[in-house]
Amino acid sequence: MLDQDGLHELESHCTQESPPHCRVACPFDLDLRAFLARMAENKPGEARKILERHVPLPGILARICDHPCENHCLRQSLGGSIAIHALELACLSADTAPGRTLPLPPKRFKVAVLGAGLTGLTLAWDLGRKSYPVTLLHTGTPESAVLAQYPQLAQSEGLRDFLAEDLERLGKQKVTFVQEALTPGLLDKVASEYDGVLVDADAAPDLGLEESAVDTETLVLRDNICVAGWKSHTATGHAFCSASQQAGQGRRAAQTLERLMSKVSITANRAKEQGALHTDLAGIASVPRVEAATALAGEPFYTPEEATREAGRCLQCECLICVRECVYMQKYKGYPRVFARQIFNNLSIVQGIHTANSLINGCALCGQCEELCPENFSMAELCRSTREDMVDLGIMPPSAHEFALEDMESASSEPCSLTLADSAVAQPAWLFFPGCQLTASRGDQVARLYGWLRETLNKGDKPGLALLLSCCGMPAHWAGRRRLFQEHTDRIRSVWEDLGKPRLVTACSSCLSAFRDRLPEAQALSLWELLDTLDLTTLAKAGQADTALPALFSVQDPCTARHDQAWLNAVRSLAQKCGVKLEEPRLSGTSTACCGYGGLVWCGQPELAAEMSAHRAAQLDHPGLASCIMCRDRLIASGKECWHLLDLLLPGGPGGTERGPGLSARRANRASLRKRLLAQYQGTTEEKPDALARVQIPDDLLPLLEERRILLDDVRGAVLAAESSGHCFQDQESGHWLGSWRPRKVTFWVEYEKQAEGFVVTDAWCHRMIVPGAGGQEAEEVVRTCQASMDKTREVGA
C-alpha cells in the first residue's frame, strides 16, 4: 500500500515542479520563468514585482550582478542565453513604481552590520524589510565601500542612479547608518549589545577575518556573529568582486542570523533537495539573442520592444516529456507528481467520494512514460499496484473492469476454451497459445497456422504441437485482481503440466509477459520468433491469392512487447522475408505507444481508449503493420489502415481495412473455432438445438448494443426468460413486449415484437441497480438479500 514515504519517493522521480536551471543558479531564488514571461508580455510593472519579491537591492543588482543564471540558461546552445541581466536593467528602467513593503511591527531582536559593502547592504535590506532594527556601522560615507567594490555604480550616464535610490529605500526601512572605525574592539562590543552581528569582510578588512574561520554553509564565526562577503578569486589568484557571490552571502547570513535570533536550527531544511528539472530540447529552433541598438553606461540597453522580443526567446523550461505523448495524462490535466499525490489521497480517505478512481483506471498501463521519463517514473506501475490496493480495500468500482473479466472467463471456459494434444506425438515439444483475441478475430488464420505449424514441426527434431485456446489471465492482472490472476495462471500451469511441460509459443505479447512472469519454466517465446526460424515457403501456399499490399508500412509495436527485443526483431525480419518495407515511427520499439486496449481502459473508459487509438493512428505516416491483433483492430476502428503480420504470412485474410469483430462476435468466433478444431482433429461435433436462434436482432441495433455492453446472448436470453416466465409487459399502442433478465450483476431489458417465426428485438438497455419486481426470477434472490440487509440497517438505526 502506498504510504507517505512511498509517495515522497515517487514524487522525487518527477521533476516537473523542480526549479529551472537559471533559478537554481540564482542565489536569490528569483522566479526567472515568471519574470521573463511578464517581460515577454511587455508588462515590466508585473515583472518588477516578481524581481523585488526575490532580489535584494534590486536597482544595484540590476546594474552589477554577474548573472550566473545566464551561464545555466538552456537557450545557450540555441541562439545564446537569454540576456537576463539586460532585461532586469530594462525592467527597472521602465517607468514603473517600486513595490511597497507592508509595514510590520518592529522585531525585538537588534542587528548590527560592520561594513557597508554589498554583503552588508544586502543583509541590511533583507532584515530591514522584515522590520528588524538594523544598525550599519561603516567607515567613510555610506556608499564608499560599495563604490570601491563596484565603481561602475558611480556612472549613471543616462541610467537612473540606482545606488542612491536603493540607499534611500534602506533608510526608509529603518536601517541606521553610523560612521565608526571598524576595529576588533568594536566587534566585541556590538556582539554583546546586539542579538545578531554580521561582519562584511571585504568592507571591514581591519578585522582580519579569514574565510576559513567560518562555517561555509551558515557563515557563522562564533556565537551570534556571521562573517561574509570576501572577494572571489580567479584560477590564477586574481581577486575580484562578484555581486552574486557577495550579495548571495549577505542573503545567506541574513537567514542564519534570523534563525539564530529565533533560536531555531540554523541548518535544518535550508537547501531544497529537488532533482534537476529535465527539459527536452529536441525540435526547438535556434533563435539568436536580440542585440540592443543602444548602450548606456557601457551596458546594452533594450528598448521595450527589444526587451519583449528578447524575453520571448525564453523556453519557459518545463519537463512534461511524458505528458506530451500521453492522451491519458493530458485528459486528467496533470503530470505524474500531481497524479501520485491524488492517488495517495484517494487511498487515504475514509469517507467521501474517491475522486481519483477514474484517474487510476484510465491508465493504459502501457509503460511509455517510464521509457520517456529521464527518471523512469512509471504511471503504469503506480496505477496497477493501486488497483490491487483498491481491490484489497474493497473500493474498486465494480463496473470498471467487470465486463472484461467476464470476457476473460468466457474465453477460458466452455464453449470457447480447448486443449488439443498432438495425436501424432505422445509428448509434444510445443504448446501453441494463440491468445483469446487472435482467436476471436482471426479464427480461420489460427486454424490454418496451427495445421501448418503442426505438420512442419513434426518433421523437425522437436516434434509435437499441442494447442490451448484460453485467455492468459492478463485482464485480471490489469484489473488489480491478484488472486484471480494467480488462480487463472495456476489453471494454465496445470494444463501445461498435464501436456508434459512443452515449450509455450504465443502470438500475443500480453500472454507472453503473463507467462514469463507466472510460468517462467515454460520458456515462452513468441510465435514470430519461432516462425522466423522456419522455412516459410509452404506457409504462404496455405493461404489464398495474394492481395495488393501497401508499398510501405509503419510498424506498430505492441506496448507489452516494448522490452522484448526478440519479438521486435522477429517481426521486422518476418516482414522483410514477406518482401514489405517498414518505416519506424518517431515512437517505436521500446518507446511505442498504446493502441488503447491496454489496462482495460476500453472497458471502463471507452471514449478515452478511442482517443488513444486515434492519437497513435495519427503518429503512423503509412498503413500500420501490427503484430498484436488488438493494435490492428483498434487502429482500424479509429479509421487507420492497419494490417496484421499474419496477413502477410497467410495471404487472403481480412487485410488492412476490414474492421475487427464486435464484442459479441468475438465470443461467437472463439466458440466457432473451438468447434472447427474439435471436428478437424477429434472428429467431434457438438450440435445442440439452439433455441436462441429464434430471437432475431436487426443489424442496425448491433452498434448500439456494443456501445451499451450488451451481448447478443444477453438479449436472446432476456427474451427467452421473459417468454418462459411471463415476467414481461406489453405496450397496447405498439404491441411491443418488454422483458427483463438479470443473469449476473446487470439487469438487461429487451423490447421485442412477436412474429410467426420467432421474436424480433427492437431495443435493449441495461442497468446495474437492483430493482424489486424487475430482472425476472433470476433477480429474486438478490432482491431479497438487499431488502433483508436494508431492514437490518433500519432495525439497528431504530
Residue from 534, 529, 533 nearest 566 by CA: 529
Identity of the residue, 533 or 725, whose beta carbon is nearer to another protein in the bound complex: 725
Helix runs in 206-362, H state only: 243-262, 304-312, 327-331, 336-348, 357-361
Identity of the residue, 108 or 794, whose beta carbon is nearer to another protein in the bound complex: 794
For residue 362, the minimal CB distance to another protein (Å) is 13
Q: Strand order of the sheet with strand 503-506?
A: 418-420, 465-469, 430-433, 503-506, 525-526
Residue type, 512: L
For residue 753, the minimal CB distance to another protein (Å) is 13
For residue 761, the minimal CB distance to another protein (Å) is 13
The CA–CA distances, whole Å, from 352 to 347, 361, 395, 406, 445 equal 11, 19, 12, 29, 51
Burial of 587 (0-12, 13-18, 19+ CB in 10 A): middle
Check residue 131 and report its DSSP letter.
Answer: T
Q: Which three cell numbers stand for residue 209?
A: 577575518
Identity of the residue, 185 or 398, whose beta carbon is nearer to another protein in the bound complex: 398
**Alpha carbons 114 and 228: distance in angstroms, whole number:** 11
Identity of the residue, 203 or 746, whose beta carbon is nearer to another protein in the bound complex: 746
For residue 774, the minimal CB distance to another protein (Å) is 5
Residue with grid cell 441495461, as numbered in its chain: 766
Binding residues vs another protein (CB under 8 A): 352-355, 357, 397-400, 708, 722, 726-734, 736-740, 747, 749, 763, 765-774, 783, 786-787, 790
Identity of the residue, 452 or 752, whose beta carbon is nearer to another protein in the bound complex: 752
One-character DSSP codes across 402-424: HHHHHHHHHHTSTTT-EEE--TT
**Alpha carbons 401 and 547: distance in angstroms, whole number:** 39
For residue 789, the minimal CB distance to another protein (Å) is 8
Contacts of 347 (CB under 8 A, 6+ apart): 1, 2, 386, 389, 390, 393
Task: Residue count of the chain, please give it.
Answer: 798
Identity of the residue, 397 or 500, whose beta carbon is nearer to another protein in the bound complex: 397
For residue 721, the minimal CB distance to another protein (Å) is 12
Specify whether the CB–CB gap between 721 and 727 falls below 8 A: yes
For residue 738, the minimal CB distance to another protein (Å) is 7
One-character DSSP codes across 77-114: GTT----HHHHHHHHHHSS-PPPPPPP-PPPS--EEEE
Identity of the residue, 320 or 770, whose beta carbon is nearer to another protein in the bound complex: 770
Identity of the residue, 353 or 548, whose beta carbon is nearer to another protein in the bound complex: 353
Identity of the residue, 664 or 747, whose beta carbon is nearer to another protein in the bound complex: 747
Residue from 368, 355, 359, 259 nearest 321 by CA: 368
For residue 630, the minimal CB distance to another protein (Å) is 26
For residue 398, the minimal CB distance to another protein (Å) is 7
Identity of the residue, 1 or 771, whose beta carbon is nearer to another protein in the bound complex: 771
For residue 369, the minimal CB distance to another protein (Å) is 25
* Strand 299-301, strand 294-296: pairing: antiparallel
Specify whether the CB–CB gap between 117 and 24 falls below 8 A: no
Identity of the residue, 343 or 625, whose beta carbon is nearer to another protein in the bound complex: 343
Identity of the residue, 374 or 743, whose beta carbon is nearer to another protein in the bound complex: 743
For residue 611, the minimal CB distance to another protein (Å) is 19
Q: Which three cell numbers stand for residue 48?
A: 518588477
For residue 726, the minimal CB distance to another protein (Å) is 5
For residue 345, the minimal CB distance to another protein (Å) is 13
- CB under 8 A, 24+ apart: contacts of 716-720: 716/692, 717/692, 717/741, 717/743, 717/748, 718/748, 718/749, 718/750, 718/764, 719/695, 719/750, 719/752, 719/759, 719/761, 720/691, 720/692, 720/694, 720/695
Identity of the residue, 460 or 772, whose beta carbon is nearer to another protein in the bound complex: 772
Residue with grid cell 490451448, as numbered in its chain: 468
Specify whether the CB–CB gap between 412 and 488 falls below 8 A: yes
**Alpha carbons 132 and 135: distance in angstroms, whole number:** 10
State in Å, rounded, how far the first CA of the chain is from the last one.
Answer: 37
One-character DSSP codes across 458-515: HTSSS--EEEEES--SHHHHHTT-HHHHHHHHHHHHHHHHHTT-PEEEES-HHHHHHH
For residue 349, the minimal CB distance to another protein (Å) is 10
For residue 343, the minimal CB distance to another protein (Å) is 14
Identity of the residue, 300 or 739, whose beta carbon is nearer to another protein in the bound complex: 739
The CA–CA distances, whole Å, from 505 to 360, 381, 430, 488 equal 32, 26, 7, 18
SS3 labels along 550-590: CCEEEEECCHHHCCCHHHHHHHHHHHHHCCCEEECCCCCHH
**Other C-beta atoms lying within 10 Å of the C-beta of residue 582:** 16
Q: H or E element: which one contains 214?
A: none
Give the phi and the psi of residue 760 in degrees, each rounded to 5.
Answer: -120, 120
Identity of the residue, 464 or 739, whose beta carbon is nearer to another protein in the bound complex: 739
**Alpha carbons 173 and 777: distance in angstroms, whole number:** 84
Identity of the residue, 76 or 355, whose beta carbon is nearer to another protein in the bound complex: 355
Identity of the residue, 462 or 745, whose beta carbon is nearer to another protein in the bound complex: 745
For residue 723, the minimal CB distance to another protein (Å) is 9
The CA–CA distances, whole Å, from 725 to 262, 691, 740, 776, 778 equal 83, 15, 11, 8, 10
For residue 751, the minimal CB distance to another protein (Å) is 8
Omega into 398 within 30° of 0, i.e. cis?
no
